[in-house]
Amino acid sequence: MESLDIRVLSDALAWCRAGRAVTLITVVQTWGSAPRPAGALLAVRDDGVISGSVSGGCVEDDLIERTQAALQNGALNAQTAKPSLITYGVSQEEAARFGLPCGGTLRLLQEPLLDAGWVEQVLAMTAKQQLVQRRVTLTTGAVELSPALRGQAAQFDGVTLSTVFGPHWRLLLIGAGQLSQAVAQIALLLDFEVLVCDPREEYAATLIATLPGIKRVEGMPDDVVRELRPDAHTAIVALTHDPKLDDMALLEALHSEAFYVGALGSRRNQQARKLRLAEHFEISEAALERLHGPVGLALGAKTPAEIAVSIIAEIIQVKSQAAVAPVGASGCVPP
């Protein structure tokens, strides 16, 4: 459910609309060390331009050659074209030839994108913060879409491949000061959708002008959090160091489904904040336990940039733990 794969679908749709032939390649299964997980996507345009990755660069050149050769002989243009499986690394020699780490094996599904209708549906659903399962039947190429559950993983039973697409991971920053600028910059590089709320116009205007890739959400922080309806793909970090702005926003955030809620401040300030919230708003101990503070991993950070790294590192750590699929959910079977 990586947002990178959503971008691959967006590129593939744009190419199709421009009249180009597009082939999608999906990681079906991996054995040994693998740089990309099951479900990862690569789109190959008819002229060899690609979007995404299935091996971190090991087999992409060979896949481009395969795809262009198939297009030239009409195998991927015919309406009867069906998905096909490709396996790399079945021997130590082949693994070494393609640079697969640790002698790994990679099984891929190659399919011509003859009907981009399902791509449009996936992009529309994920834009609404919905998780979507896509099932493709290898014998017919038929595609079915259905709602997916958090933690659902790619599954392959030899006939049908199921993958999950999810929305962008979102980061809402309460406050638009220097630290917020550093955090937002790193989050953008990691492909988060970054939202900033700060009723102080002078702060917000400066941040927006500096980083045009972020979106300002106007209003008081607690109102913004409530209206945003944070889901399990949303992180919220309060960085104003002003209880009048931070506390009410945190109260709303801790009662939401946000996977991460953090606040700037020393251990003493965090303890004082928890006491305020507990005494004045009767928030439960379980909800307060969700608050990360002092925010960020203990890296010994001093400068705004270093503190930003520690904050993003902790968010990524929690995000990765939250996204782990249940044991046995992959449904993969060895070749």
Span 85-112, pLDDT tens digits: 998 875 555 555 555 555 567 889 999 9
Distance CA 296, CA 292 (A): 8
pLDDT score, position 323: 58
Domain count, the chain: 2
pLDDT score, position 326: 39
Q: Does 179 share its domain with 272?
A: yes
Q: Look up the pTM and report it.
A: 0.69
Note whether 202 and 175 are within 8 A (CB): no
Q: Does 187 share its domain with 115?
A: no
pLDDT score, position 101: 52
Helices within the chain (DSSP H only): 3-17, 60-72, 92-98, 117-127, 178-189, 201-210, 221-228, 243-254, 267-281, 285-289, 304-322
Q: Does 92 share its domain with 200?
A: no
Distance CA 44, CA 291 (A): 43
Range of the domain at 287: 170-321
DSSP notation for 240-263? S--HHHHHHHHHHHHTS--SEEEE
Q: Last residue of a domain, which of 61, 94, 125?
A: 125
pLDDT score, position 335: 33
pLDDT score, position 334: 33
Residue at 150 is within a domain: no
DSSP-assigned beta bridge partners for residue 31: 105
Task: List the end-to-end C-alpha distance of the chain, in Å, as a whole number.
Answer: 24
CA angle 57, 61, 62 (to 5 degrees): 115
Q: Does 213 share its domain with 314?
A: yes
Q: Last residue of a domain, which of 60, 95, 125?
A: 125
pLDDT score, position 23: 93
Distance CA 312, CA 129 (A): 21
pLDDT score, position 327: 32
Q: Does 232 share its domain with 305?
A: yes
Residue at 146 is within a domain: no
Q: Does 121 share its domain with 182?
A: no
Q: Pick out the chain residues at pLDDT < 70.
A: 1-3, 32-35, 56-57, 73-80, 90-104, 151, 322-335
pLDDT score, position 206: 81
Among the listed residues 120, 129, 134, 223, the one whose alpha carbon sits nearest the alpha carbon of residue 170: 129
| Domain harbouring 244, CATH code | 3.40.50.720
pLDDT score, position 121: 95
Q: Does 243 share its domain with 315?
A: yes
Residue at 328 is within a domain: no
